Amino acid sequence: MTNYPSDLSTKEYELLKPLLPELKPHPRRKWDWHLILNAIFYVLRGGCAWRLMPSDHVPWQTAYHYFRVWSLDGTWERINGSLRAQVRVASGRHPEPTAGIVDSQSAKTGRQGGECGFDGHKGVKGRKRFILTDTLGLVLKAKVLKADTHEGAGGIQLLQEAFPDFPTLLKLWVAQGFRGSFIDWVAANLPLEVEVSKGLGKPGEPGFVPAPRRWVIERTFAWLTGFRRLTRDFERFARTTEAIIYACMTRIMLARLAKIV
């Protein structure tokens, strides 16, 4: 088989192996998890359709089957959470975060159908990706909605799903688009301090000036769109895009852990 840049190294696979479901034996099965995962990450990194996967990978039907099953049963999100805790510990942090950052990114959709909307501010017809990260930029929760979803409404949906899993959170940084209903809702429902991040520079100040804290989540979006499957939203279901976000972060964190451990 050809080696591709997206393939898991032996060390990366060994880090991931304890988190994988049991692969039940079958007399006709020729593939192990390592080969199946290499095929999945090839599609995510290269951005091609499943049917266009090179023939020297496992059959595309096999790779797609396991990716789809893990998307539906939450396996990608669970693996993301386990690796995130390992990266935090390796970086000298507590496994559970006490501070987070919320922001959104609009992405055009393809011709696959599914729900979409028009983001008038960005001029994008498609979907909007809301993510919550820790202060290292590691994804805690992802929520994908129509592009015409207001930041406040999307942020509320994101936190409604995320906060039960992260009760240690004490503070959030958000972009200015989250002012108003989002901050009011958090104040009334969650024990969180919310700070609105300032703009990316001062009037008349030359050059680009990163906003404190907010640059962390902007870097996370840059990491994610390094996987071409996320440069646009090619999925029929928003839930599939959420799973892709967790899978891409899994690949990013494995590369980081392999250098540390």
Determine the average pLDDT of the residues in 73-88: 97
Going by pLDDT thresholds of 50, 70 and 90, the confidence category of residue 23 is confident
Q: Which two tokens stand for residue 179?
A: 């002012």
Count Cα neighbours of 221 within 13 Å in the Cβ-side half-sphere. Answer: 18
CATH number at residue 129: 3.30.420.10
Mean pLDDT of 183-192: 95
Range of the domain at 98: 10-260
Q: Which pLDDT score, from 0 to 100, does residue 30 have?
A: 74
Secondary structure in 3-state letters for the chain: CCCCCCCCCHHHHHHHHHHCCCCCCCCCCCCCHHHHHHHHHHHHHHCCCHHHCCCCCCCHHHHHHHHHHHHHHCHHHHHHHHHHHHHHHHCCCCCCCCEEEEEEEEEEECCCCCCCEEECCCCEEEEEEEEEEECCCCEEEEEEEECCCCHHHHHHHHHHHHHHHCCCCCEEEECHHHCCHHHHHHHHHCCCEEEECCCCCCCCCCCCCCCCCHHHHHHHHHHHHCCHHHCCECCCCHHHHHHHHHHHHHHHHHHHHHHHC
- In this prediction, residue 181 has a pLDDT band, given cuts at 50, 70 and 90, of very high
If one counts every other C-beta atom within 10 angstroms of the C-beta of residue 204, the result is 5
Residue 2 lies in a domain: no
What confidence tens digit (pLDDT) does each residue in 24-55 have? 766 666 788 999 999 999 999 999 999 999 99
Residue 216 within a domain: yes
Rounded to an integer, what distance in angstroms lies between the CA atom of residue 249 and that of residue 129?
14
Residue 208 lies in a domain: yes
Q: Per the domain annotation, does 3 fall within a domain?
A: no
Number of domains in the chain: 1
Q: What is the total residue count of the chain?
A: 261
pLDDT at 115: 85
Task: Give the model's pLDDT for residue 87.
Answer: 97
Is residue 113 within 8 A of residue 236, CB to CB? The reply is yes
Residue 1 maps to a domain: no
Whether 4 is covered by a domain: the verdict is no
Q: Calculate the alpha carbon distances from 188 to 70, 90, 192, 197 in Å.
A: 35, 35, 10, 21
Question: According to the model, what pLDDT value does residue 246 have?
Answer: 98
Inform me whether the pLDDT recorded for 62 exceeds 90: yes
| 103-158 tens-digit pLDDT | 999 999 988 888 889 888 888 999 999 999 999 999 999 999 999 999 999 999 99
**Which residues are CB-neighbours of 43 under 8 A, at least 6 positions away?**
49, 50, 53, 63, 67, 229
Question: What's the pLDDT at 123?
Answer: 87
**Over the stretch 198-240, which tens digit does the pLDDT of each residue have?**
755 555 565 556 666 789 999 999 999 999 999 999 999 999 9
Report the candidate in 92, 126, 124, 97 with the shortest Cα–Cα distance to residue 109: 126
